[in-house]
Amino acid sequence: MIGIARDEGRILISRDRELISRTKAENVPALYVTSLDFTEQLRQMEGEFGVVFQDSPELSRCPVCNAELRLTCKKDIKAKVLESVIEQYDRFWVCSGCEKIYWHGGHWKNVCETLERLRGAKND
Ligand SMILES: [Zn+2]
């Protein structure tokens, strides 16, 4: 992981203190995450690295392979997605790398709710 972070110019983020120590010893940027709460972890990334989480995010990158997503039509993905999903949602994206298909389903709702909590608009 340290080699990948160095080679790809990434920041290694972990709750593993030993890994973070070894990463910093090799002059690779690293962040020890202090909280177990995901929203607090995001706040820490904002505070320490100036990461900006958009209020109205768009699907742009594949969380699996990081390639760009592009909008696609229902007819092009019909064979790859459950019919109930096709009927329930209007917009779909396909990954230009791994061809995984995305839509604003339950996970997306969770993402938006997490962003609301991050902005302090919602407490639970
Ligand atoms: Zn992908």
- Decide if 67 contacts 61 (C-beta within 8 A): yes
Kindly provide the residue ranges of all beta strands, DSSP E only, lying in the chain, ordered along the sequence. 12-14, 30-32, 69-72, 92-95, 101-102
Q: What percent of the chain has pLDDT over 70?
A: 97
Residue 122 has pLDDT above 70, yes or no: no
Distance 17 CA to ligand 1 centre (A): 30
Tell me the average pLDDT of the chain: 91
CB 14 within 8 A of CB 33: yes
**Residues 13, 66, 73, 87, Cα dihedral to 10°:** -30
CA of 67 to the centre of ligand 1 (A): 5
- In this prediction, residue 74 carries a pLDDT of 92
Q: Confidence class of residue 124 from pLDDT cuts 50, 70 and 90?
A: low
Q: Per DSSP, what are the bridge partners of residue 113?
A: none
Distance 102 CA to ligand 1 centre (A): 10
pLDDT at 56: 72
Report the pLDDT value the prediction gives residue 107, as an integer from 0 to 100. 86
